[in-house]
A = this chain, B = another copy of it.
Amino acid sequence: MIVSLAGGVGAARFLDGLVRLLRPEELFIVGNTGDDAEIHGLHISPDLDTVVYTLAGLANAEHGWGIRGDTFHCLQSMGQLGEDTWFQLGDRDFATHLWRSNRLREGWPLSRITKEMGARLGVRSTVTPMCDEPVRTMVNTPGGELEFQEYFVKRRARDKVLGVLFRNSKEAKPAPGVLKAIGGASGIIFCPSNPIISIGPILSVPGIRKALEKRKCRSAAISPIVGGKALKGPAAGMMASMGNEVSARGVARLYQGLVDVFVLDREDRKLAPAIDALGMRTVVTNTIMTGLAQKKALARSVLKALENE
C-alpha cells in the first residue's frame, strides 16, 4: 500500500499519474480538510473533492477545481436572492455538497461519507479525510483571523500572513485506518502540495506526525515550489510571509525527519546539495505536470526512489 498525503490541485494531478502505475486499490490517500468551509449552509471539502473528482475522471482540468463542463445556474440564482457568490460552486458540484451535508446531518462521519462518495463515483483507491473532526485552518493577518477560504478565495490572498493556526486540531483524531495504513505502508508520498496549509493540517492531527516519524518504509516528498514560485495556489506568498525561504530547500526544511527522498525540479538542481545536507536523498526530475505523460513520469520517478535508495 502506498500512502499519500494530499492537498488539492497539485496533489490531484500527481495522483492522477500515480494511480495508473498501481492497482488503484493499493493507493491510500489522506486528504487535507483544514480548508473545508460552510457555504450556503453546506459543508464544502475542496481538497477531498478535487482528489475524488480527479480519480473519478470528472475533474475540470482547466480550473483545477470543480467538475468538467459544469454550469453555475444555482449560484447565479443565489446571487439574485442576495447571497454572496464569491465561492464558485457549479451545479453538479452542488450535488456533492448537498449530499455530503445531508449525510453529516444524519450523523455519518466525514470519512464514511468520503469513502461512500468515492465508491459511488467509481473511485477504487481509498480517499479519506485526515480526521472526522472539523479542523479549520485559520490565517492570522494584520486585519485579524480569517478562515482559509475567506483569506484565499474571497480576499484573493492579498493579506500579509502573520501565522497559520489549525483550529481544533488538538481535539482531532486520525480518521479510521490512517495510522494503520501509515504503519503498514510500503511507501509514503507527500504530494506536491502547500507544505503549510495543505500538508500542515494533516501533520497537526495528533498521532499522524509521530506515525510518519516511526515509519517502517521510505517516504518521499515532491516540491510544490519550482524556481521560487508555487505552481498553483498561495504557497509561495504564505511561505515568505511566515519567514520561510520560498524554494524547494525551504519546503525540504519543513519536512525534516519525515521525508527520506526529496524530489525537486530540474530548474532547482543547484539546490540539491543543500537538501542532501538536510539528510534527504534528492531526486532531480521534471516536476511540471503539463499532461498525463509528465504526471506518470513523475510518479514513476517517485515510486522508483521509494524502492531503492
Quick one: given A71-B71, A71-B91, A95-B75, are A80 and B121 in contact (CB under 8 Å)? Answer: yes
Does A307 lie at the interface of the complex (its beta carbon under 8 Å from any beta carbon of B)? no
Choose one: B42, B80, B98, B121; the contact of A78 (CB below 8 Å). B98
Give the interface residue-count category, chain A: 20 to 34
Q: How many copies does the complex hold?
A: 2
> Distance (Å) between the CB of A112 and the closest chain B CB?
14
Quick one: given A80-B121, A82-B120, A120-B82, are A73 and B99 in contact (CB under 8 Å)? Answer: no
Does A142 lie at the interface of the complex (its beta carbon under 8 Å from any beta carbon of B)? no
**What residues of chain B lie closer than 8 Å to A70, measured between beta carbons?**
73
Does A88 lie at the interface of the complex (its beta carbon under 8 Å from any beta carbon of B)? no
Does A76 lie at the interface of the complex (its beta carbon under 8 Å from any beta carbon of B)? yes
Beyond A41-B101, A74-B91, 16 additional pairs, beta carbon < 8 A:
A41-B98, A42-B98, A67-B77, A71-B73, A73-B73, A73-B90, A74-B94, A75-B95, A76-B95, A77-B95, A78-B95, A80-B95, A81-B117, A82-B120, A83-B99, A94-B94
